[in-house]
Structure 1
Amino acid sequence: MATFLIERNLPGASRLTSEQLRDIARTSNDVVDGLGVEYTWHHSYVAGDKIYCVHETDDPETIREHARRGGFPADVVVEVAAEIGPATAGD
């Protein structure tokens, strides 16, 4: 499976309550369960007017289908080419 970053434009995202975020997460989980393909939602970051998500699946069309079924925007969907961090600088 490939890893994808999804950018969702959602005005006021950072003002969503914990209950609203819980409802979004439940909807996402239900959609994932109903897709019938391998799909993993790892986590999401809420910042400003956006939600940034990290998902794994086989192709970007499955990401878009997840968004369509869940009623979520999926404004940008990109496949992760590499991952780096502080340890990358080591010998």
Structure 2
Amino acid sequence: MPKYVIERTIPKIGEVSAGDLQAISQKSCSVLRGMGPDMQWVHSYVTGDKIYCVYNAASEQQVREHARLGGFPIDSVARVVTTIDPITAEV
């Protein structure tokens, strides 16, 4: 299944409480359950004013529909072509 990176601007998200982050996570999971098994939230990175989410999904349209249904902002969606890491550098 394709992997996507989603960028979301949420001012001061890095300052919210653990309880608020839990509520956002619960909302995302609830929407995903309603969408069926063809989409999976892998994890998200929370920074000062943005969240970068990694999802496995059948299509970009599915990612955007999840955002719409959940009321989540979505600045950009990029399909991951490949992954590199320090092992990639080894000969």
Q: TM-score, normalised on structure 2? A: 0.97
How much does 1:30 deviate? 0.4
Instruction: Provide structure 1 residue ranges, at least 5 long, that are not aligned to the other structure.
Output: none
CA distance in 2, matches of 1:39, 1:16: 26
CA distance in 2, matches of 1:24, 1:58: 23
Q: Distance in 2 between matches of 1:17 and 1:65?
A: 27
By how many angstroms is 1:16 displaced?
1.2
Aligned residues between the structures: 91
| TM-align CA RMSD | 0.8
Identity fraction in percent: 43
Unaligned runs of 5+ in 2: none
TM-score by length of 1: 0.97
Match of 2:65 in 1: 65
- Measured after TM superposition, the shift of residue 70 of structure 1 is 0.6
1:38 and 2:38 correspond: yes
| Cα distance in 2 between the residues matched to 1:73 and 1:61 | 14
Indicate the SS of the match to 2:6. Answer: strand
The equivalent residue for 1:22 is: 22
By how many angstroms is 1:37 displaced?
A: 4.4
Q: Which residue of 1 aligns with 2:5?
A: 5
**SS state at 1:84 partner:** coil
Question: What letter matches 1:47 in structure 2?
Answer: T
Q: Where does structure 1 differ by over 3 angstroms across 4 or more consecutive aligned residues?
A: none
